[in-house]
Amino acid sequence: MRPPARSSSARALASLREPRMQPMKPSAMSKRKLKDSSAESAECISQVQKILRERFCHHCAAGKLFGMEQQYRHLLELLKRTTVHGESNSALIIGPRGSGKTALLNHVLKDLREMEQVRENLLEVHLNGLLQTNDKVALKEITRQLQLENVVGDKVFGSFAENLAFLLEALRKGDRTSSCPILFVLDEFDLFVHHKNQTLLYNLFDISQSAQTPVTVIGLTCRQDILELLEKRVKSRFSHRQIYLMNSFDFKQYLKIFKKQLSLPAEFSDESFAQKWNNNIQHLSEDKTVQDVLQNLFHHTKDLRSLHLLLMLASSAVTVHHPLLTAADLQEASRQHSTDSKANIVHGLSVLEICLIIAMKHLNEVYDGEPFNFQMVYNEFQKFIQRKAHSMYNFEKPVVMKAFEHLLQLELVKPLERPSARAQREYLLMKLLLDSSQIMDALQVYPNCPTDVKQWAASSLSWL
């Protein structure tokens, strides 16, 4: 026989009689330990982020130099002769963008400033061809950086040449033993070549050959043919010292750079965390997925600036709750790094604007990249409507014109010349700033793109 079922009230009484298991409360000591360990881990992550960001910033001299030891020694010796022995010199650092010209110079200057005989004994003037667009602006910047405003004062000069002569005279005061050496750094050096008569370059190279104030002029440029751009009188005063930087390492060396750039130093505050981090970086460098990501970047561009950007994006994912880098972090960073900004703009366009871009794409194919005007684009769009007999795309011409102007504002299309007041907007010559592959890639991920629009884009010839 089955025992009689107990009523709900009986069950309640029984539960009251039975002792309940109370949940264990964490002690105050264990709470304190958890809090301390989380604070320590947060401090470690903060230090990791600081170290890595300093390394990946190409203007910061905290990172390491790779493959340019010889150039480093050459430039350091050159500047030491100026700062210690009072010799005047001039040199050009030549290399493609991202090859480490600025990083090399910053490392040399950092090591120079740490020397006892150089400390507080070197004046630096940094000019950039993108900012100092003519000699007059450059001269003002030299005056400001050398703190010679009081010397110039309210003096009125008859010409630029007189002003420059006065400033150079102020620099020439004294002899080699008592004068403070001056370093002129000219970034984007090739842009200074286009200044009128190359007056600034002529005078800087001239004083670098004089027996007065020790002066060294260092130019940084991407132009391999830079000497051919100098005038004869300027070239004759240049020392012809050239330091070339080339990214000549192979993929094995590239992998080593990847490991070194992400590894934590031996003097890191938390030794156990540093060991765990470095072991993880070693495993990542051997991971096939990570190697594929790095290989893609290496084949696209070997410059370390691109690698640093990839690693910066990946390391930004590191947090207290996600303390170690993973292959997925590098894959996501690679996706962000290679994202096409113009293709992203296409994702937010209306279907009408997409149709206009496709019409322009077809015009480029038919007329072999020749410029087009709005009327040609509109006619191409009308052919598509008639071919498909779609009333949903049948917009009035002013509406289509408005959509075309929006593409102009987004800089996906640009006019070949500045429009005059009398010119008719429909007949201004334009150029599409997207290539065929960018358009097709953007359409693949465009949300709810009509099938016939995709088919029209994929057709190799225009609708006739």
The string of DSSP letters for 211-254 reads: SSS-EEEEEEES-TTHHHHS-HHHHHHS--EEEE------HHHH
Tell me what the pLDDT averaged over the chain comes to: 80
Paired with 218 in beta bridges are: 91, 185
Domain boundary (211, 244, 277) is at: 244
Residues 308 and 402 in one domain: no
Q: What is the pLDDT of residue 21?
A: 46
End-to-end CA distance of the chain: 92
Q: 4 in a domain, yes or no?
A: no
Q: Residue 463 — pLDDT band, cuts 50, 70, 90?
A: very low
Handedness of CA 365, 366, 369, 372 (dihedral sign): negative
373-396: per-residue pLDDT in tens?
888 988 888 888 887 756 667 788
Whether residue 277 is found in the same domain as residue 238: no
Contacts of 325 (CB under 8 A, 6+ apart): 262, 280, 281, 284, 314, 315, 317, 318
C-alpha neighbours within 13 Å on the C-beta side of residue 244? 8
The CA distance from 279 to 325, in Å, is 11
- Average pLDDT estimate for 32-48: 67
Q: Please check whether residue 364 lies inside any domain of the structure.
A: yes
**What pLDDT, on the 0 to 100 scale, is given for residue 130?**
92
What token pair was written down for 462?
A: 């225009």
The verdict on 85 and 113 lying in the same domain is: yes
Residues 169 and 130 in one domain: yes
Predicted pLDDT at 389: 58
224-252 confidence digits (pLDDT tens): 899 999 999 999 989 899 999 887 788 88
* CATH code of residue 189: 3.40.50.300
Mean pLDDT (whole number) for 206-228: 85
Rounded CA-CA distance 235/322 in Å is: 57
Same domain, 313 and 179: no
Q: What per-residue confidence (pLDDT) applies to 38?
A: 57
Domain total for the chain? 3
Domain assignment present for 112:
yes
Least confident of 14-18, 235-239, 455-459: 14-18
How many other CB atoms sit within 10 Å of the CB of residue 356? 24
77 and 184 in a common domain? yes
With contact defined as beta carbons under 8 Å apart, do 280 and 324 qualify?
yes
- In a shared domain, residues 255 and 202: no
Asked whether residue 73 falls in the same domain as residue 194, the answer is yes
Q: Which DSSP helix (H) or strand (E) runs through 92?
A: strand 89-94
CA geometry: angle at 89 spanning 86 and 95, to 5°? Answer: 140
State yes or no: pLDDT of 366 exceeds 60: yes
Q: What is the CATH number of the domain that holds 424?
A: 1.10.10.10
Phi, psi of 94 (to 5 degrees): -120, 130
Residue of 435, 433, 434, 440 whose CA lies nearest to 456: 440
Mean pLDDT, residues 416-431: 76
Distance CA 326, CA 319 (A): 12
Instruction: Examine residue 42 and state whether it is found in any structural domain, yes or no.
Output: no
pLDDT tens column, 425-437: 778 888 888 888 7
304 and 272: one domain? yes
Tokens in use for 192?
A: 């200074």
Q: Which two tokens stand for residue 49?
A: 């982020």
Q: Domain containing 265: what range?
A: 251-339
**Tens digits of per-residue pLDDT, 146-188?**
877 776 666 666 666 677 667 666 655 545 555 678 889 999 9
User: In the beta sheet, which residues pair with residue 219?
Assistant: 92, 186
Q: What is the pTM of this model?
A: 0.66
Percentage above 70 pLDDT, the chain = 79
* Among the listed residues 93, 71, 90, the one whose alpha carbon sits nearest the alpha carbon of residue 81: 90
Q: Is there a single domain that holds both residue 382 and residue 323?
A: no
Q: Which of 304, 321, 339 is the last residue in one of the domains?
A: 339
Q: Which of 215, 244, 273 is the last residue of a domain?
A: 244
Identify how many contiguous H helices and E strands the chain contains and give both numbers: 22, 7
Q: Please check whether residue 316 lies inside any domain of the structure.
A: yes
**Domain for residue 415, yes or no?**
yes
Mean pLDDT for the stretch of residues 330-336: 86
* 313 found inside a domain: yes
Residue 159 lies in a domain: yes
Domain match, 103 and 219 both: yes
**255 contact partners, CB below 8 Å, separation of at least 6:** 285, 291, 294
Q: Are residues 200 and 90 in the same domain?
A: yes
